[in-house]
Amino acid sequence: MLAIYKRELRSYFTNMLGCAFSALLLAAAGFFSAQININSAQSRLEYSLYMLVHYCILIIIVPFLTMRSIAEERHQKTEQLLFSLPLPIWKIILAKYFAMLTVCLIPIAVLCFYPIFFSFYGTVNFVGAYASILLLVFLIAAIVAIGMFVSSLFENQIIAVIVTIGLLFVLYFLTYIANSFSSAAVTSLIAFCCVAFIFGIIVFFITKNETAAALCSGLPIVGLIAYYLSNKNVFIGAFAEVVSYLSIFDRYKVTVINGLFDITALVYYITIAAVFVFMTIQSVEKRRWN
């Protein structure tokens, strides 16, 4: 497992992807920090970090890091080497995941020096600064897991990066989209049914099994309609609420801007990361069964 981790890490720095990623992230963070912390003499690093999310910097650059993780192995046929190694698949995927995470941690480690530098010239809220850096790490961990999962679905890394960015944009704007619908109960029901339907399509794409897909979207839709008929009031504004609750980016905003460290946000990111890593393992495992 360590061998794969080392090889992955190395490859990110031999093909410049890791360097470019670190440079871009640091450049963006540095720019926001210069604008907010220096030019506006605002001591809170949290705001500059939030700008990385707010201006979609993470959404755009992280997928470029994750796009090749699995897709490239498939394209180069090197996955057959990995499959024939005396290693379980989950170890291979975890090694790859942690290698990507390590690449992300390098620029973030540099960010850790910012509060110290600022403290020479004024008062810095260290707890707030480091808590937001910590949360940023876990947010990135969740995004990397999503990107790796998408990469495992495609052989072409360009398609993988486009789909990942698209997916993250949808997640990012989901709250806006959800809020733009009327809060009527029927709208919520339709929205939930659409989600169930999309879930069914995804299941079909992964399993190529019509029955499983029909069950995965059919059962929730039937359940939703039944629940709706029994209790309409629950559905009023429910979709927007659920979406807002589930939005990974909103949680970062709330925690950072309000200055409240929300431990559930941390747990939520870890859960997202775990779910998508697990789905990646399944998706790769499934390739052997098709």
Partner 1 sequence: MIEVKNLTKKYGNILAVDNISFTIEKGKIYGLLGPNGAGKTTTMNIITGCLAATSGEVLINGHSIIDEPVEAKKYIGYLPEQPPLYADMTPAEYLYFVAEAKSVRADDIPRAVEEVMEETGITDVADRLIKNLSKGYRQRVGIAQAMLGTPEVIILDEPTVGLDPQQIIEIRELIKSLGRDRTVILSSHILPEVSAICDDIIIISHGKIVANGPMREISSSLKSETIMDISVKATEDEVTSVLSSISDITRFEITDTSTDVAGVSVTSAKVHYPTDIDLREIVTFAFSDIRRAIISMTAEESSLEEIFLQLTSDKAAALDEIADSDNEDGEISSHEKLFDGSSDVKDSSESSFATNSADDADDESIYSYNPEDYLATQEKLADYVDADEDSFGSDNNNSDSVNAGDDINDDNAHGKEI
**193 Cα distance to chain centroid:** 24
6/27 with CB nearer partner 1: 6
Q: Shortest distance, CB of residue 11 to partner 1, whole angstroms?
A: 6
Report, in Å, the least distance between residue 85 CB and partner 1: 5
Q: Minimum CB separation from partner 1 for residue 284, in Å? A: 12
CB atoms within 10 A of CB 93: 25
Beta carbons within 10 angstroms of residue 94's beta carbon: 17
Copy the structure tokens of residue 286.
């499934």
At 46, list the tokens. Answer: 């949290």
Spatial separation of the C-alpha atoms in residues 288 and 69, rounded to whole Å = 18
Of the pair 82, 236, the CB lying nearest partner 1 is at 82
Smallest gap from Cβ 191 to partner 1, in A, equals: 35
Q: Quick one: 3 or 186, whose CB is closer to partner 1?
A: 3
CB of 104 to partner 1, least distance (A): 21
Contacts of 239 (CB under 8 A, 6+ apart): 178, 181, 187, 188, 191, 192
Minimum CB distance to partner 1 smaller for 6 or for 179: 6
Q: Which is nearer to partner 1, 3 or 225 (CB)?
A: 3
Nearer to partner 1, 86 or 263 (CB): 86
> Shortest gap between Cβ of 24 and partner 1 (angstroms)?
21
Cβ proximity to partner 1: between 82 and 193 the closer is 82
Distance, in Å, from the CA atom of 108 to the CA atom of 102, rounded to the nearest integer, reads 10
Q: Minimum CB separation from partner 1 for residue 270, in Å?
A: 27
Long-range contacts of 171-174 (CB under 8 A, 24+ apart): 171/247, 171/248, 171/249, 172/56, 172/59, 172/247, 172/249, 174/243, 174/246, 174/247
- The tokens for 33 are 């920090």
Question: What is the per-residue burial (b if ≥16 Cβ within 10 Å, else e) of 16-25?
Answer: ebbeebbebb
- By the 8 A CB rule, do 138 and 269 touch? yes
Residues that bind partner 1 (CB under 8 A): 2-4, 6-7, 11, 14-15, 76-88, 288-290
